[in-house]
Structure 1
Amino acid sequence: MSTNTENTNAATKRVSPTGLDLDKLTDWLAAEHPGMVAGELSATLITGGKSNLTYELTDGTNAWIVRRPPLGTIMATAHDMRREYTMADALRGTDVPVAKMYAYCGDKDVLGADFYIMERIDGVPYRYADELRALGEERTRGLSTELVGTLAKLHSVDPAQVGLGDFGRPEGFLGRQVKRWKQQLDTSKTRELPGVEELHAKLLATVPAKSAAGIVHGDFRLDNVLMGPDDLPAAVIDWEMATLGDPLLDLALMLTYQRRAKIVAGYETTDPANYDVTLAPGYLSTEEIMALYEAESGRKLEGFGFHLGLACFKLAGISEGVRYRHINRQTVGEGFEDSGSTVPLLIELGLESLKEHK
């Protein structure tokens, strides 16, 4: 791969992908987890994600996944590897499918950041409409139905019963989210964004006094759920923003991805093969998803317009952060050229969303 250009060990001539020093990783595993590795390690960067760095690691016999934060300066509360590891590990044995966690390292001297190693799952992270179009409308509808059902299962888990009672602070969660993503936008500022101050002010003024409490994935969508050969979820992945708070923000963010994709597809002239997976024929509509979620979870969506507006604000903050890292040459891999291009659209959509479902 083009990223395999750094960290060549003079003795072994082994080349490590950017952000993953295989020699240091080998030494750490030998000391902390003896017997886990059976041969010389090699790794490749898994492309597609825009946040944490993900690698496939192998010793020639076994294969694992390694996750670490992106390069460069990041928010203190972002890209928390221990958070990912703890959440996924706690959910083993529940109805929520997750990968097995093998090892966590908080020593930043090993890779320059904390990281963890997990099971490699045989599953597909569907990202583009053409991938589902090839399966047909019936299977696509089934996959999106399973996605909503998995989200409802996650939100039904009692955090205290799986050892996550102290994992977060549900009280005041929505207000803290407004503050956090405003801070992200301020920290990542590279340009003027008309409407962002108005959206922030309206969110602050309409934070619900009370909200639901439960496990929040933080970035729940189809390409963060590996689908198995049976079209059933094999593992929910990418728990970097998981916490305890209002679960409806997960639903709102998932729908915001879908809404954004539909708007972009309406004026884009690029190859439809790159259209978002939610635009595939047969994929549940936003209205169908909301109705199914209510039925599966037993939760009502009163006041959901606030959650939709906050989801737009959050996604704008995430996207602008990726844009900032790309401009400052802190991203690894390809596909970052258009990062942040839909942030102005998200701000507009956020202001409109606040008017819905009051």
Structure 2
Amino acid sequence: MELRGIDPDPTERWLRENVPGLRAPVEFSLISGGRSNLTYRVTDADGVVRALRRPPTGGVLSTAHDMSREWRSISALHDTAVPVPEPLAYCADAEVTGAEFYVMGFVDGTVLADAAAVEAFSPQARRRAGLATVECMAALHTVDPDAVGLGGTARREGYVLRQLHRWQRQVHQSGAPDLALLDAVHDALAANVPEQGTGIVHGDFRPGNLSYAPDGEVLAVFDWELATLGDPLADLGWLVASWAQPGDDAPAVTPGPTAEPGFPGRTELVDRYAALTGRDVSDLPYYVAFQRWRSCCITAGVRARYLAGVMGDDGYDAEDRAKDELRQARSAWQAVQDLGLV
């Protein structure tokens, strides 16, 4: 059966020549769960498993799906306290399989993408997973970008305004259920940007992009395509906005398992982060509102790619996600109202 995004013969030749220790022939299979870039399991003749990442086969938005950014990030962080997969090889030649790609070590853990993923986790492991998540984020945010070679990868000032401009442009390219509402939220956020800090920002830091051991410890952080330099509170705002807990009125910005029994609540996460980093988190509500708005922009782009048929078939329901976009847009509008920004 044809595997979208992989040209098997030239890709295998490239892997054989560039990945140390790999022995042909290899088998490719799509790993489900990704909503942006495509991830494949690569199993060689010795049964060794590696992972290959490449962009979607079409519908690629400007500045998104940057494989070199992902490769640069995991290469820079591999010897730090931030757990990332082992970087193995990077291919800049789009002729090999239609796009640049990279190969990394396969991390055999559990990605906590939904409630089903934590069924086998004990209450103690769930609690540990929650705290380990924010501890891992704190470790990332205390890495000096200059010390690991990432200091020159992006501008350090104006992060939020750049993000607002970027995602507003892309949501208009992708389409969304209510662009006028999203534009109103954008304008309120842009007029009230708080003073910003600087650090390495992952851009999509949440349990669905982390791999966990059975005891809840974090084994690896994935999906670095949005990584840049900016205000670390943006990452914390995304984590909080995605961290569902029982009794929530507003939906989480992305599905996850954290409303299940055993997980710590958002307040405990924020307190733990502040204690570890010493960072002032008083402006966090602004970043939560910003991330609710940003989630609508991201979801619109994902939905557009699925409707265009350029992503793998993993059960994605575009109609449900369009409804969720509208709920998130209304939640973002309520958030900026609650902050007194309109």
**TM-score calculated relative to the size of structure 1:** 0.88
Match of residue 97, structure 1, among 66, 79, 83: 83
Tell me the residue number matched to 2:51: 65
Instruction: Indicate the residue corresponding to 2:134 in structure 1.
Output: 148
Matches within 5 A, 1:25-104: 25-31=11-17, 33=18, 36-61=21-46, 62-104=48-90
Match of 1:350 in 2: 332
Which of 123, 127, 130 aligns to 2:113? It is 127
Unaligned runs of at least 5 residues, structure 2: none
**Deviation string for 1:173-213 (max 9, x for gaps)?**
110000011011100015444521210110111122x3010
Q: 2:291 maps to what in 1? A: 311
Q: Aligned-pair distance for 1:357?
A: 10
Corresponding residue to 2:281 among 301, 312, 328: 301
Q: 2:230 aligns with which of 217, 233, 245?
A: 245
Partner of 1:216: 201
Could you list the per-position Cα deviations for residues 256-310 of structure 1 after superposition, in whole angstroms to 9, with x for gaps in the alignment? 12259944779xxxxxxxx730111121212221111111211111222221111
Letter matched to residue 350 of structure 1? A
| Counterpart residue identity of residue 174, structure 2 | S
Instruction: Let me know the Cα RMSD of the aligned residues.
Output: 2.1
Conserved? CA contact 2:207–2:256, under 8 Å: no
Q: 182-191 vs 144-153, which deviates more?
A: 182-191
> Aligned-pair distance for 1:316?
0.8
Which residue matches 1:320? 300
CA distance in 1, matches of 2:117, 2:44: 31
CA 1:139/1:190 → structure 2, altered by over 3 Å: closer, same or farther? closer
1:10 aligns with none
Q: Is the 8 A contact 1:148 1:289 kept in 2?
A: yes
TM-score by length of 2: 0.91
Distance 2:126 2:147 in 1: 34
State the AA in 1 paired with 2:50: W
Note closer, same or farther for the CA distance 1:144–1:134 as it changes in structure 2 (3 Å cut). same
Amino acid at match of 1:145: L
Structure 1 stretch 213-222 or stretch 281-290: which is displaced more?
Answer: 281-290
Secondary structure of the residue that 1:108 maps to in structure 2?
A: coil
| In 1: Cα distance, 2:56 partner to 2:245 partner | 25
CA distance in 2, matches of 1:350, 1:264: 9
Query: For 1:19, what is the secondary structure of its paired residue?
Result: coil
| Residue 357 to residue 44, structure 1, CA distance change in 2 (3 Å) | farther
Matched residue type, 1:118: M
Change (3 A) 1:94 1:326: same
CA contact (8 A) 1:48 1:335 kept: no
Counterpart position of 1:182: 168
- Write the distance in 1 (CA, Å) between the matches of 2:36 and 2:261: 28
- Mapped partners of 1:137, 1:35: distance in 2: 40
Counterparts of 1:35 and 1:77 in 2: how far apart (Å)? 30
Q: 1:290 and 1:229 mapped to 2: Cα distance?
A: 24
Map residues 133-282 of structure 1 onto 2, 5 A cutoff: 133-189=119-175, 191-193=177-179, 195-208=181-194, 210-259=195-244, 262-263=248-249, 276-282=256-262
**Deviation readout 1:71-101 (Å, 9 max, x if unpaired):** 2121221010000011011011111111110
Q: Does structure 2 retain, via aligned residues, the 8 Å contact 1:190–1:324?
A: no
Percent of counterpart pairs with the same letter?
Answer: 35
* Residue correspondences, number: 334
- Alpha-carbon contact 2:114-2:208 (below 8 Å) kept: no
User: How many angstroms apart in 1 are the aligned matches of 2:82 and 2:22?
Assistant: 28
